[in-house]
Structure 1
Amino acid sequence: MKYNWFAKVYDELMDDSLYPKWAEYTSQYLTKENHILELGCGTGILALQLTKAGFDITALDLSSDMLSLAYDRQLEAGVRFPLVEMDMRNLSELENFDGVICYSDALCYIETEEEKGEIFSEVYEKLNQDGVFLFDVHSTYQVKEFDQFSYHDEVEGIVFLWDSYTGDKEYSVEHQLTFFVEKENGHYERFEEIHKEWTHSLDKYIELLKKAGFKKIEVSADFGQKVNDESRRWFFAAKK
């Protein structure tokens, strides 16, 4: 998928307080000696934080728009780490890693159980022995809570509207993003994007991980909490 105008306001939409929490969660399973791959790195905020903390990160995303902003962020901070434009469904050209991380519900942009299972298998093959796969997804509760969600805001030169509705499939949601972008003459041009996300049951994720070959799987919620019926994010730590 292409993010286009969404890439320009992505950081404004994100809760900055989440990045240190993802970094802390990562540090519970991986050390600075480990070689780590981040899937769905977006604009590179987490990869930048982990690199500054001494971690060895390679950051991957399908969107050239996101990676362009991640590169600009590197130049501004004076910090470098490899950026890879690639579909996470095919990692065959990459080297092996000690850890793979994928946060901010990036896997929810993958529609089917089969496709998620293929990604889990790709990750398993690219992990060194005893390597760990860390990721989060929206819970089924969170996806239901998205229905009728609405958020409106603006950044310099861009007014954006974010409205969410229940999708056609079970445990799916559609985010309708509308952007009004200011032109040189002061007029605004309208752009629209539809972003779709899908999640699955907790048991299904565990089943797919086991099928890919992972033996030891730890599940938690919302950055270290116990899973309950109202957990918003599920976290998985799967060891090869």
Structure 2
Amino acid sequence: MNYQSFAYLYDELMDEAPYDKWVCFFQKQKEKYTPNANNILDLACGTGEMSIRLSEQGYQVTGVDLSEDMLAVANEKAMNKGYRIPFYQQNMTELEGIGPFDIVVIFCDSLNYLASEKEVIETFQSVKRVLKPDGLLLFDVHSTYKIDSVYAGNTFAFNGDDISYIWSSYKGEQPYSIEHELSFFVFDEQTAQYDRYDELHKQQTYTINQYKHWLTNTGFTIQSIEADFGEAVTDTSERIFFTAQNRY
């Protein structure tokens, strides 16, 4: 996936994202299962918003992302706020040279950007290798309902003063997959014109039972599965949250 254009627009587009709710979910699960945890890996950290927020809570945070452009934004933001957060460009399926960590988080449906079942399994294996015994893996994914009934066949739009977008979603080739075609129009003050950027983002999710099977086969104990920041899972839940503990 090409994030070259998207990386510099991401924070403005995600301005209303529920980051505080992700932090609350993290704090709740940390206190319940690993109350002494301090060393955190923010995997698929993007522009570092969660990394910075966790650092503000006093945790020792490391950020990893595949996108060099996202990491450049993250590093600049962290430095401007006075945080020395180590950021590394790595594939989440092949983590190396870092850890061990008390908790690994993969938030904001980042796991859904993996292209295959094989990559999801490899990511769980990779995370297990960098987790301490009894360490936690916390992640959220789109539900199959959201992929098939909320995204597929729908178009979303936003019209702001400096940035606008048109976002159309189409069913992908695989079950529970989606392709997002995004066109951004960004105002350039120097030319007094709008520049257009086009992106294609592909996402894939799986059933809850598939995620459970892969986690347990990898050596995790599933501690909880919930929906939409603390709700019970239903047929129309849109975001599924997993808490898994490293079993040795």
Q: Structure 2 length normalisation: TM-score?
A: 0.90
Give 2:172's aligned residue.
Answer: 167
Equivalence map 1:67-86=2 (5 Å): 67-86=71-90
Alpha-carbon distance between aligned partners in 1 of 2:151 and 2:203, rounded to the nearest angstrom: 11
Counterpart CA distance in 1 for 2:46 and 2:243 is: 21
Contact 2:37 2:103 in 1 (8 A): no
Opposite residue 207 of structure 2, the aligned amino acid is: S
* 1:115 shift after superposition: 1.1
Whether the 8 Å contact between 1:90 and 1:122 is mirrored in structure 2 is yes
**Contact (CA 8 Å) 2:105, 2:137: kept in 1 or not?**
yes
RMSD across aligned C-alpha pairs, in angstroms? 1.7
Per-residue CA deviation, residues 5-64 of structure 1 (Å, 9 max, x unaligned), is: 211221222253511111111112335742110111111111111101111110111111
Residue 214 of structure 1 corresponds to which residue in structure 2? Answer: 220
Of 223, 229, 232, 1:226 maps to 232
Quote the residue 1:35 is aligned against: 39
What residue number does 2:26 align with? Answer: 26
Q: Deviations over 1:161-200 (max 9, x none)?
A: 2222222211011111112345543344433110000000
Matches within 5 A, 1:102-121: 102-121=106-125
Over 3 Å counting, the alpha-carbon distance change for 1:117 and 1:222 in structure 2 is same
Question: Which segment drifts farther, 202-211 or 20-29?
Answer: 20-29
1:14 matched to 2:14: yes
Describe the shift of the 1:149–1:180 C-alpha distance in structure 2 as closer, same or farther (beyond 3 A).
closer
- CA distance in 1 between counterparts of 2:228 and 2:58 reads 25
Output the CA distance in 2 between the equivalents of 1:15 and 1:163. Answer: 20
Partner of 2:68: 64
C-alpha separation between the residues in 1 aligned to 2:13 and 2:159?
9
Q: How many residue pairs align between the two structures?
A: 239
Shift of 1:234: 0.5
Tell me whether 1:195 sits opposite 2:222 in the alignment: no
The unaligned stretches of length 5 or more in structure 1 are: none
Q: Is the 8 A contact 1:110 1:197 kept in 2?
A: yes
Over the matched positions of the two proteins, sequence identity in percent amounts to 38
Could you tell me which residue of structure 2 aligns to residue 47 of structure 1? 51
